[in-house]
């Protein structure tokens, strides 16, 4: 039997924008009080408000950007450990929902009510939290505009197909990177086309769900290379393969990155720019409701 306060944050313009009334009725029927966003930043405020009101369950109905705003609000209130989070996917990409086994609205509402709870890691990049991934370099912009069809076909490589023109003009990142791995610090220096850091998302082979409970990021560093080669490798589904020349794979709990120029990156779709980038795992930081397809420790 559910005990405690429940609140839902609904973004009425996510995705097709025709879901709000229907989802609100479903969530009300499960005991959630619903708040609707009206513009950017509202979900951050609602996350902080939920913490101040000692809300125990927070459901986010929107895309990855809306989820990230709520998580930022909870983190700002130091309340990540105090709530159980659930998601209803109505956005364009819905990467987090897909990775935790939630595919449709009705199933998601049921999971928000009675789904299994797993305690998962939270990433921190540039001082702000993320659940899915942080991407620095070429795809920081392109990853936001990839169509759902391309994402379905190419998975984590969709940003490259979308970013062909950007790739032709991209000079790369001259970076120095130190990664904290299980074997100790590992350094990488050179020109990178992009740096991919996955928490719920894996940037290896065909991609898919990452291990959100191991205290480690899945990291791929794609070295600078001619754009035509990058696109060819992406279309051939080889760019992030384990044996692809010019791609370095790491598992790390922390990354420190410096570059000659400010680093532009996308944190769960939220764009930011920093002179240097620190990324770290906060292990077992958030209780998250998951669907039946969620794999605690995917192969």
> Is the pLDDT assigned to residue 164 strictly greater than 60?
no
pLDDT at 14: 83
How far is the C-alpha of 57 from the C-alpha of 32, rounded, in Å? 9
Q: Select, from the ranges 132-146, 162-176, 239-253, the one with the highest average predicted confidence (pLDDT).
A: 239-253
What is the domain extent for residue 149?
129-283
Q: Is 298 a domain residue?
A: no
**Least confident among 34-38, 53-57, 88-92:** 88-92
> Is the pLDDT assigned to residue 240 strictly greater than 50?
yes
Question: Locate tokens 């754009």: which residue?
Answer: 227
Do 266 and 179 lie in a common domain? yes
Domain count, the chain: 2
Do 10 and 144 lie in a common domain? no
Question: Which has more pLDDT, 171 or 40?
Answer: 40
pTM exceeds cut of 0.85: yes
Do 51 and 186 lie in a common domain? no
Question: Which has more pLDDT, 124 or 16?
Answer: 124
Pairing of strands 173-181, 247-252: unpaired
Query: pLDDT, tens digit, for every residue of 100-159?
Result: 999 899 999 999 999 999 999 999 999 999 999 998 876 555 554 555 554 554 455 555
How far is the C-alpha of 94 from the C-alpha of 90, rounded, in Å? 7
**Least confident among 12-26, 31-45, 162-176, 226-240:** 226-240
Q: What is the mean pLDDT of the chain?
A: 85
Q: Is 98 a domain residue?
A: yes
> φ, ψ for residue 250 (rounded to 5)?
-140, 155
**Least confident among 47-51, 144-148, 266-270, 280-284:** 144-148
> Is the pLDDT assigned to residue 236 strictly greater than 60?
no
> What are the b/e assignments for 156-193, b being 16+ CB within 10 Å?
bbbbbbbbeebbeebebbebebebbeeeeeeebeeebb
pLDDT at 231: 55
The CATH code of the domain that includes 262 is 2.60.200.40
**pLDDT band at 13; cut points 50, 70, 90:** confident
Do 98 and 153 lie in a common domain? no
pLDDT at 122: 98
Helix axes 64-76 and 42-52, enclosed angle (nearest 10): 40
Q: Is 290 a domain residue?
A: no
């Amino acid at each position: 039997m559910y005990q405690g306060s429940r609140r839902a944050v609904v973004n009425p313009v996510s995705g097709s924008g025709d879901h709000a009334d229907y989802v609100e009725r479903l969530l009300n029927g499960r005991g959630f009080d619903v708040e609707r966003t009206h513009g950017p930043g509202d979900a951050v405020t609602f996350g902080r408000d939920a913490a101040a009101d000692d809300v125990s369950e927070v459901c986010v109905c929107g895309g990855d950007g809306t989820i990230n705003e709520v998580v930022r609000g909870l983190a700002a209130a130091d309340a990540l450990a105090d709530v159980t989070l659930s998601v209803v996917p109505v956005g364009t990409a819905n990467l987090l929902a897909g990775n935790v086994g939630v595919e449709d609205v009705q199933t998601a509402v049921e999971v928000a009510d009675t789904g299994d709870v797993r305690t998962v890691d939270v990433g921190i990049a540039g001082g702000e939290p993320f659940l899915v991934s942080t991407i620095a370099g070429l795809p920081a912009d392109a990853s936001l505009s990839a169509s759902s069809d391309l994402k379905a076909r190419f998975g984590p490589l969709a940003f490259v197909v979308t970013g062909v023109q950007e790739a032709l003009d991209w000079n790369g990142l001259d970076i120095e990177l130190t990664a904290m791995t299980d074997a100790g610090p590992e350094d990488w220096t050179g020109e990178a086309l992009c740096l991919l850091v996955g928490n719920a998302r894996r940037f290896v082979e065909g991609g898919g769900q990452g291990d959100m409970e191991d205290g480690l990021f899945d990291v791929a560093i794609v070295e600078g290379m001619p754009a035509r080669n990058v696109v060819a490798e992406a279309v051939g589904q080889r760019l992030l393969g384990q044996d692809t020349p010019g791609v370095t794979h790491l598992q790390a709990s922390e990354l420190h990155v410096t570059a000659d120029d400010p680093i532009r990156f996308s944190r769960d779709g939220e764009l930011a720019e920093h002179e240097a980038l620190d990324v770290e795992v906060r292990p077992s930081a958030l209780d998250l409701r998951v669907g039946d397809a969620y794999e605690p420790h995917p192969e």
